[in-house]
Structure 1
Amino acid sequence: MTKKTEVTVEEKLRALYDLQLIDSRIDEIRNVRGELPLEVEDLEDEVEGLKTRMVKLNNELETLNEQISNRKNLIEEAKTLIKKYNEQQKNVRNNREYNSISKEIEFQELEIQLAEKHIREFKAQVEQKKEVISTTKERLSERETHLQHKKDELDAILGETEKEEQALIEKSAEYENSIEPRLVSAYKRIRGSVKNGLAVVSIERGASGGSFFTIPPQIQMEISSRKKIITDEHSGRILVDPALADEEREKMNQLFSAL
């Protein structure tokens, strides 16, 4: 029976650093997209809101025009009644009938005045509504143009990076599965708590990558020996020596180029 080969600390460090390089490349791709997906989503919501507003405004305008039409019909009906009452007055038999018809005529004349007043008010509202519709229409057109521009921009970026990102996500999962769960859990915890998502960094000019705190020579020697996993006491990041980092970067750059 073949004895299972135990994974060395160096192999674990290489695998962790490779995973970091893959995840950092995914981060870079997503940073290129930046806020574009959210911008597109916000613009889509705004355009939808403006379209809904346009429908509401046009419905309100239609209602106002109907009100004007109704008042005009009322005026015509009142004029017809006045004409009829005027004819009836010519054939009245007494003052009581005459006065009764006069009141009807007076009432219809008041109805006409009230209807004309309402028409003026409705027409003023129509003009105001048309201005709002015009402004909203211009805003909608401008936002739709801007939305299309942002969608084209996002589609172009997605077209360039989507395939690579998906391949990298699969590689990241593949590398995770090759590392013991305890280390993956620690890696993810550190990655989620530090700037730029860098959980594994190499020593640069005597300090951990992205840090100004110098690492004592003795600790640097231990890191270079690759005998145990050492973390930076200030940031908590896992540390690797520069030589290992260079080797893995070269290897992963070849992998990235092939995607």
Structure 2
Amino acid sequence: MATKKEVTVEEKLRTLFDLQLVDSRIDEIRNVRGELPLEVEDLEDEVEGLKTRIEKLNTELENLNTEISNKKNLIEEAKSLIKKYTEQQKNVRNNREYNSLSKEIEFQDLEIQLAEKHIKEFKAQIEQKKEVIKQTKERLSERENHLKHKKGELDDILAETEKEEEALIRKSEEFEGLIEDRLLNAYKRIRSSVKNGLAVVSIERGASAGSFFTIPPQVQMEIASRKKIITDEHSGRILVDPALAEEEKAKMENIFASI
């Protein structure tokens, strides 16, 4: 990074305008990317969310199948007990023993009915979850394809602009190193608070670029003299004269062409 030194106001204005041109070029590159990085990030999150949902639904399916298996085992056990109690009834010694076994048989029969009811409910839940899984997989496939397309777009743009952006960032840092801290901080403050990040603008048709407020002729002369830093009283932007702006634009175009 270049060392800071005492420079004239005109040199400060030229360096500030050069920095603005570089930073505006970086802004253009990032605007080309636009919302793509955020779109890709959102799509990645959505895809992960859908995958997690499918995993959860598959786990729930496994649990339901386990529940069905458990209920079927319970039914088999109940049937075995009914068979056992029915056999025992043939050898009872009194009505009390017979009635007691009848109650056991009745209870096991109720257990079977309840288990069969649960199995029916579990099977209905399984069909419902299978349908949700099918729909979620379709959505996942569609989102994955969309993500692939958007990633391809982003990769293409990055391949075209990444090298240039990195070179421009280095150039921006180089110019920042030539500007005194107070002035650089003012530039950054203005840049962050105005439209399009334009902190340094030239006069166009008697007004600051992008403004409809006319600058008085006396102020225009002061700006053209390049003896002090003058800001637009309406927007707060730093102003430079058209001739200086054109000279620096031509110079920077050559630099941009070599990047």
Distance 1:136 1:13 in 2: 59
1:219 corresponding residue in structure 2: 219
Q: Distance in 1 between matches of 2:179 and 2:82?
A: 97
From the superposition, tell whether residues 63 and 6 of structure 1 become closer, same or farther in structure 2 (CA, over 3 Å).
closer
Please say which of residues 208-217 and 140-149 is displaced more in the overlay.
140-149
Q: Which residue of 2 aligns with 1:164?
A: 164
C-alpha distance after superposition, 1:47-66 (max 9, x if no partner): 22222211111111111111
1:176 to partner: Cα distance:
0.7
SS in 2 for 1:48: helix
Match of 1:19 in 2: 19
- Which stretch has the larger CA shift, 211-220 or 16-25? 211-220
Q: Which amino acid aligns with 2:177?
A: N
| 1:31 aligned residue | 31
The equivalent of 1:186 in structure 2 is 186
Deviation at 1:31, TM superposition (A): 0.7
2:60 counterpart letter in structure 1? E
Which residue is equivalent to 2:258?
258
**RMSD value, Cα:** 1.4
- The 1:6–1:74 alpha-carbon spacing in structure 2 relative to 1, beyond 3 Å, is closer
- The 2-side partners of 1:104 and 1:93 are apart by 17
Letter in structure 2 aligned against 1:44: E
CA distance in 1, matches of 2:66, 2:132: 19
Shift of 1:6: 4.8
Residue deviations 1:83-142, cap 9 Å, x none? 222222223333222222222211111111111111111111111111221222222222
TM-score, length basis structure 2? 0.94
The 5-angstrom pairing of residues 176-255 of structure 1 reads 176-255=176-255
Out of 86-95 and 179-188, give the one that drifted further.
86-95
Aligned to 1:231, the other structure's residue is in SS state coil
1:174 equivalent in structure 2? 174
- Listed one character per residue, the Cα deviations across residues 21-48 of structure 1 (whole Å, up to 9, x for unaligned) are 0000011111111111111112222222
Number of corresponding residues? 255
1:32-47 matches, within 5 Å, as 32-47=32-47
Aligned to 2:219, the other structure's residue is in SS state helix
> Quick one: distance in 1 between partners of 2:104 and 2:189?
88
Aligned to 2:133: 133
| 1:142-161 alignment runs, 5 A limit | 142-161=142-161
Following superposition, the deviation at residue 180 of structure 1 comes to 1.7
Q: Is 2:13 the counterpart of 1:10?
A: no
**Equivalent residue of 1:230, what SS?**
coil
Give the secondary-structure state (helix, strand or coil) at the position aligned to 2:239: strand
Identify unmatched segments of 5+ residues in structure 1. Answer: none
| TM-score under structure 1 length normalisation | 0.94
The AA in structure 2 aligned to 1:157 is: I
Aligned-partner Cα distance in 1 for 2:113–2:185: 82
Map residues 36-75 of structure 1 onto 2, 5 A cutoff.
Answer: 36-75=36-75
Deviant stretches of 4+, over 6 Å: none
| SS at structure 1 position matched to 2:201 | strand
Percentage of matched positions with identical amino acids? 82
